Amino acid sequence: MVAGEASGDFLGAHLIAALKKRMPRSRFVGIGGPKMEGEGFESWYPMERLSVRGYAEVLRHYAGIVSMRRSLAARIEKENPALFIGIDAPDFNLDLERRLKRHSIRTVHYVSPSIWAWRGGRIKRIAHSCDRMLVVFPFEESLYKKAGIPVSYVGHPLADIIPEEDQTNAAREQLRIPPQQRVIALLPGSRQSELRFLAKTFIQTAQRISASWPDVRFLVPLVSRETRQLFESALYEENAQDLPLTVLFGHSREAIAASDAVLVASGTATLETALFKKPMVIAYRMAETSWMLMNRMRYQPWVGLPNIIAEEFVVPEFLQEDATPDNLAQALMNEMSDASAKRRVPARLGVMHHLLRQNTAERAAEAIEQCMR
């Protein structure tokens, strides 16, 4: 198995647990994170070496990544495993899968690259790389069937883990937040590069909201010591130490559940927010070169996962130069003040939750076991 970032580590851990029930004598090796290691996974390289995004960032690490993939492939070929599972990280995993497949090692790719959003031509590369694709969104299945690629829709594990019932009161009790407090969660991303682009923008947005709503409270869950240091440095630089803000080490789901609305960086966290049925505003910024290249190649008007799944703008999103503190603050306050939106958005997100709730780990394990047979 190879997972390249925190979301892949989460998916891999749940898949390992399900596979161990079916094949208790199995051994799991490759590249993974702490959650996978907690399930007995043996990681040969630090997962963080793959956690880079955007063309500019990848180019800086390109030589090291290629060298690692080459040595990893040689080691896997020597081990000659029953199966290789690439978990997301398509730019790394698909080339690796293609090489392993040429050496008669069966390959499964778990989580489709976003061929429906941009770079649709990758489906030809996928056909040469994996024996089966496991997709987590229902609209992806038909794309692979049309291309003649074996595919299984397995749903998304977050939809299984996050309860369909409202969790606001329980989360507020856990975080010791009064029931009537106005709360906004700020999720500026899990990567250090995301914090460098978004931390100050999110803080300035919070300052504007706090100036209008003095009773508001902000929750900021951060996944690592490094991202916390970046955010705290941004607080100091923006002279924002007096903001009514609590930085949490992890606990992102509790922060989302306890909130009235969420300001969130585009990515998996938008799906988590959707599954908690919370109004949200999606923001994203990246290096200008990376944005220019990606923006030219995308096919859809949406970037946030909830909007992509719904195929409409269920929640607002602001990208690159549009992601200004003024725009974000106004959109958040609108989402929280509009009575119609407060009813419509949770209802629409509830339908989405039911669609994605498929007992994912078991369905994925079943598809993998069939592939091995």
What local confidence, expressed as pLDDT, does residue 250 receive?
86
Q: Any idea where the domains of the chain sit in the sequence?
A: 2-155+358-372, 168-356
Confidence of residue 61 (pLDDT cuts 50, 70, 90): low
**Can you tell me whether residue 82 is helix, strand or coil?**
coil
> Facing residues of 264 across strands?
187, 282
pLDDT in tens, 161-205: 999 999 999 999 999 999 999 999 999 988 888 899 999 999 999
Q: pLDDT (tens digit, 9 = 90+) per residue, 350-360?
A: 999 999 999 99
- Contact predicate 277/219, CB 8 Å: no
8 A C-beta contact, residue 114 and residue 89: no
Q: What is the pLDDT of residue 59?
A: 57
Same fold, 2-155+358-372 and 168-356: yes
pLDDT at 291: 67
- pLDDT at residue 120 is higher than 90: no
Identify the CATH class of 2-155+358-372.
alpha beta
Integer Cα distance of 15 and 7 in angstroms: 13
Non-local CB neighbours of 218 within 8 Å, separated by 6+ positions: 183, 184, 185, 186, 206, 210, 243, 244, 245, 246
pLDDT for the residue numbered 268: 85
Give the pLDDT confidence score for residue 286 in this predicted structure. 77
- Quote the CA–CA distance of 115 and 94 in Å, as a whole number: 13
Question: What pLDDT does residue 62 have?
Answer: 62
Overall average pLDDT of the 135-139 stretch:
92
Question: CA 141 to CA 134: how far, in whole Å?
Answer: 9
> What pLDDT is recorded for position 24?
94
Q: Cα separation of 67 and 63, whole Å?
A: 6
Instruction: Name residues whose C-beta falls within 8 Å of residue 100's C-beta, 6 or more positions apart in sequence.
Output: 73, 76, 77, 84, 107
Q: With 80 as the cut, is the pLDDT of residue 117 above it? A: no
Position 50 pLDDT exceeds 50: yes
Asked if CATH classification 3.40.50.2000 holds for the domain at 168-356, the reply, yes or no, is yes
Is residue 55 scored above 60 in pLDDT? no
φ, ψ for residue 338, nearest 5 deg: -80, 110
CA-to-CA separations, 134 to 97, 99, 208, 235, 240, in angstroms, rounded: 14, 19, 43, 41, 44
Compute the average pLDDT of residues 112-141: 87
Please give the average per-residue pLDDT across 94-119, as a whole number.
Answer: 89
